[in-house]
């Protein structure tokens, strides 16, 4: 029986996932996707924009942590010296992106 050595997941794969999640968050907050999705027909536009501003600010705290974790996990010296720690940092950043998007989604639905 032959034993195969465990293969490491390259940090580029979760980094691409983080870029996609970050793009989704950016378009939801800054390109008006959140406004189109969460502002009802009967709601005043000013009230909806105020509510989404608060939700986007709370979500932005997680997005900043996620962006920082993604960049920190992909720094070349960190990858070369500590590849497993780099992968953990990028995975935590992925979780932060998911939380940021979750806060944005739940906050948009609750206020509706």
d(CA 42, CA 44): 7
pLDDT of the residue at 29: 93
**pTM to 2 decimal places:** 0.82
- Could you tell me the mean pLDDT of each successive run of 10 residues in the chain, 112 residues long? 65 82 94 85 82 93 93 74 79 93 92 71
Q: What is the pLDDT of residue 20?
A: 93
pLDDT at 104: 93
At residue 60, the pLDDT reads 95
| Cβ-contact 11, 87 below 8 angstroms | yes
Task: Specify the pLDDT at position 88.
Answer: 83
Q: What angle is formed at CA 58 by the lines to CA 11 and CA 12, rounded to 5 degrees?
A: 10
């Amino acid at each position: 029986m032959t034993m195969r050595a465990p293969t490491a997941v390259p940090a580029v794969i979760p980094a691409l996932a983080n870029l996609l999640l970050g793009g989704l968050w950016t378009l939801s907050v800054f390109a008006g996707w959140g406004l189109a999705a969460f502002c009802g027909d009967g709601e005043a536009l000013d009230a909806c924009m105020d509510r989404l501003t608060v939700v986007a600010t709370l979500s932005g705290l997680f997005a900043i942590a996620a962006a920082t974790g993604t960049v920190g996990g992909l720094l070349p010296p960190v990858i070369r010296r500590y590849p497993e720690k780099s992968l953990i940092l990028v995975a935590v950043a992925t979780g932060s992106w998911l939380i940021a998007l979750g806060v944005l989604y739940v906050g948009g639905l609750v206020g509706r």
